[in-house]
Amino acid sequence: MSTPFTTLTSVAAPLIEDNIDTDIIIPSREMKSTGKTGLAAGLFAGRRYTQGRSENPDFVLNQSAYRAAAILLAGDNFGCGSSREHAVWALAEHGIRAVIAPSFSPIFAGNAVRGGVLPLVLPRATIAALAASEGAISIDLPAQTVTAGARVADFNIDAEAKAMLIGGLDAIDLTLQAADRIADWQRVDRQRRPWVYLGG
Amino acid sequence: MPSLFDKLWDRHVIATTPGGAAIIAIDRIFLHERTGAAALASLAAAGRNVADPARAFAAMDHIVDTLPGRGDATTMPGGTAFITETRAACAAAGITLFDIGHPDQGIVHVVSPELGLVLPGLTLVAPDSHTCTQGAVGALAWGIGSTEAEHALATGTLRLNRPRTMRVVFDGVLAPGVTPKDMALALIAAHGAAGGQGHAIEFAGSAVTALAMEGRMTLCNMATEFAAFSGFIAPDAVTFEWIKGRRYAPQGALWDAALADWQDLASDADAVFDREIRIDAASIAPMISWGTSPAQSVAIIGGVPAFAGSGSRAAHDKALAYMGLAEGQSLAGLAIDAAFIGSCTNSRLSDLERAAAVIAGRRVAPGVRAIVVPGSSAVKRAAEAQGLDRLFTDAGFEWRESGCSMCFFAGGESFGAGQRVISSTNRNFESRQGPGTRTHIASPETVAASAIAGRICAA
Ligand code: SF4
């Protein structure tokens, strides 16, 4: 169960670079425990901190206007690289609930939906316009719109991801509603492909 | 009409959800200690069981040390907890673990094919982006997040939107000395690091079917660097011969039945793909990365390219600054500080054999730190049986225990800041091999030749 996502209004922090990989989002060395929490301090650690781990004033999330930003604007292929879900957990724990980019790594996008973070796809030019706009922007997931001042952009999202985000749904519970169907399928499959089922 | 992907997909669809996704049967699940304990602990905390532990496996590869005499202690701060908690969680869940000291320990994507755990026609997932490596045997194998791993463990399924399809055809014959790693880098350099985004990619063509099994794994391994959903190759006689007799592969009558079933695993002649890319294999030269994305790769004989208008100028300049290079600068001849042969891309026996053939009695250049890390304990034993360990150590290489090792920086061992490393790994991202480390990725033979020369050079 993740926090349901319906609407969100926030300033949007621009980090418009292509190929922001999960190691930039949270470096491997910041994943200090086996759990899912305590990761916000490691978010963008390589960029956010100087060598002595004091804040790097040049990094966007350290600038006063964007400290509380719940929306991140990014470039192509956001979340590429390692499949580490810690990238989503760290973003969410820091307070980022939506990332707007021209494209996402598929693994990251799947993780984001499960972690209650909206991976929102808009064209590069629209993102540039959002970055140039003043003040907060609003995301309405049920209506699939992003509003900045008088400008409204529509976005696409697949129905499954949308339903999961809005309901904060746990995918395992949803799937287990079909448990009988899964068991039936496996019974037939066991006859068809017995070699798949190790241990008899 | 159906493509290989269509067949793999259709065989596994259990149901369609109201949201239009499919519930897909998952035949094998692989975990490793980096995220395995977290997934299993979270599952247990929710009061859920692993649906079929006999089809779930785990290996110690990411955090475990590769230094000789290793145990649970690691150079990664806090690393021991990942190891001990994964061990306890696997035992509690009844999952077979290829633990430290186990003869089958190694990198998941090396161990799984080696043991015949991945087979043609199967679906296999692991919380690791390079799971696509295993598509080389004609399976649908892809990387997932840990929450999805919990889903797969608890339900034996995943909810998935059908990816688009792509065929990448390498026509013709590779020039001597050109490897599957060069094929992958040439593809990604030509079409971008996001070029395969969201696509299920079938690698095909005469240069692909001519590859031995391990080379096919190298090619499929790099599909994730192309942002693909997965990469795979239709199984053929080479595949079946390679799999036959492996520990978990079907035997006897079951083998015959499986083999009959697998004959259909190929794209029909009139199969339709959402996209197709064709590459003339003969045009590919030994490659090397110059920047901080695998797409920033060129032929070794070429220099650092000028900004070409794809991506952003700022990103191009940033990569140059990070790598300490200038446009037009020659890559061949660039002095290196270290050389690394290992990773799920290029650490199998044939990779080590080819690197060893390049070294053949010569020595690593003075001042260069050179390391070989076999991909699995079985690879290590097989290499040692041929005397490759001595060949490498006599040349001045460190010979390690198997694991991911310095393919990535987990907080422990690293190459230092500013160090220029030539590496047979898959990622040249900023700080991938340690904060500030400058990584050039290339084939194992290029790494070996460069280690000897002390400078970047083709074998
Ligand atoms: S060898 Fe490197 S790329 Fe492969 S699984 Fe290990 S860390 Fe990942």
Q: What's A124's domain CATH number?
A: 3.20.19.10
Scanning B203-262 for CB atoms below 8 A from A yields 227, 229, 248-250, 254-255, 257-258, 261
Residue A130 and residue A174 share a domain: no
Identify the bridge partners of residue B32 per DSSP, sorted by sequence position. B59
Question: Residue written as tokens 């053929």?
Answer: B236
| Residue B403 CA: distances (Å) to CA of A43, A92, A96, B115, B126 | 27, 31, 34, 16, 16
Report yes or no: A175 at the B interface, CB cutoff 8 Å.
yes
Q: Which residues of chain B are under the pLDDT cut of 70?
A: 309-311
A39 found inside a domain: yes
Are residues A160 and B147, on separate chains, in Cβ contact within 8 Å? no
| Residue B29 neighbours by CB under 8 Å, 6+ apart | B55, B56, B57, B124, B125, B126, B149, B152, B153
Are both A28 and A115 inside the same structural domain? yes
Q: Which of A36, A83, A105 sits opposite B38 (nearest CB)?
A: A36
Q: Among the residues of B269-427, which ranges form H helices?
A: 313-323, 349-359, 377-385, 388-395
User: What is the chain B residue with the closest CA to A193?
Assistant: B258
The answer on A129 and A174 residing in a single domain is no
How far apart CA B121 and CA B126 sit, in angstroms, is 17
Q: Is residue A159 part of a domain?
A: no
Take residue B38 and report the two structure tokens written for it.
């977290």
**Same domain? A30 vs A128:** yes
Give the ipTM of the model, two decimals please.
0.93
What mean pLDDT is predicted for residues A33-62?
Answer: 91
The pLDDT score that the predictor gives to residue A154 is 97
Is A145 within the bounds of a domain? no
A157: in domain: no
Same domain, A174 and A132: no
Residues 6+ apart with CB under 8 A from B174: B182, B183, B207, B210, B281, B282, B284
Query: Does B72 reach chain A within 8 Å, measured CB to CB?
Result: no
Q: What is the per-residue pLDDT for A200?
A: 62
**What average pLDDT does the structure give for chain A?**
93
Q: Is A50 inside any structural domain?
A: yes
The whole-number pLDDT of residue B189 equals 96
In a domain, residue A112? The reply is yes
Residue B312's pLDDT is 79
Pair (A99, A174) in one structural domain: no
Do residues A115 and A184 share a domain?
A: no
Sign of the CA dihedral with B83 first, then B85, B90, and B91 last: positive
Q: Which residues contact ligand 1 via a Cβ below 6 A?
A: B 61-62, 107, 128, 130, 343-344, 404, 407-408, 425-426
pLDDT of A2 > 80? The answer is no
CA B4 – CA B267 distance, rounded (Å): 4
The C-alpha atoms of residue A51 and residue A54 are separated, in whole angstroms, by 7
The pLDDT value recorded for residue B309 is 67
What is the per-residue pLDDT across B328-387, written as a single tens digit (0 to 9) for each? 999 999 999 999 999 999 999 999 999 999 998 899 999 999 999 999 999 999 999 999
Q: What pLDDT is recorded for position B109? A: 98
Query: Nearest CB to B311: which of A18, A28, A176?
Result: A18
Percent of the residues in chain A that have a pLDDT greater than 90, as a whole number: 77
Domain extent at residue A90:
8-136
Query: Which of B340, B346, B408 gets mutated to test ligand 1 (max ligand atoms within 8 A of its CB)?
Result: B408
A48 and A110 both lie in a single domain: yes
State pTM to two decimals. 0.92
Question: Is residue A21 a part of any domain in this protein?
Answer: yes
Give domain status of residue A153, yes or no. Answer: no
- In this structure, are A14 and A60 located in the same domain? yes
The verdict on a CB contact (< 8 Å) between A82 and B250 is: no
User: Which of A83, A116, A136 is a domain's end point?
Assistant: A136
Are A172 and B148 an interchain contact pair (Cβ–Cβ within 8 Å)? no
Question: Which of A88, A113, A136 corresponds to the end of one domain?
Answer: A136
- Does residue A33 surpass a pLDDT of 80? no
Q: Distance between CA atoms of A121 and A74, rounded to whole angstroms?
A: 10
Partner residue facing A175 (CB), from B35, B151, B315? B151
Number of domains making up chain A: 2
Query: At which of A88, A120, A136 does a domain end?
Result: A136
Could you tell me if B38 lies within 8 Å of chain A, comparing CB atoms? yes
Read off the pLDDT band of A169 (50, 70, 90): confident
What distance in Å separates the CA atoms of residue B224 and residue B201, rounded to the nearest whole number?
Answer: 10
Q: Chain A, 7-36: which have a CB under 8 Å from a chain B CB?
A: 17-19, 21, 23-24, 27-29, 31-36
Same domain for A99 and A187?
no
Q: Which domains does chain B show, CATH number per domain?
A: 4-160 (3.30.499.10), 164-244+260-283 (3.40.1060.10), 288-453 (3.30.499.10)
Taking CB atoms and an 8 Å cutoff, what residues of chain B touch A161?
19
pLDDT of residue A34: 76
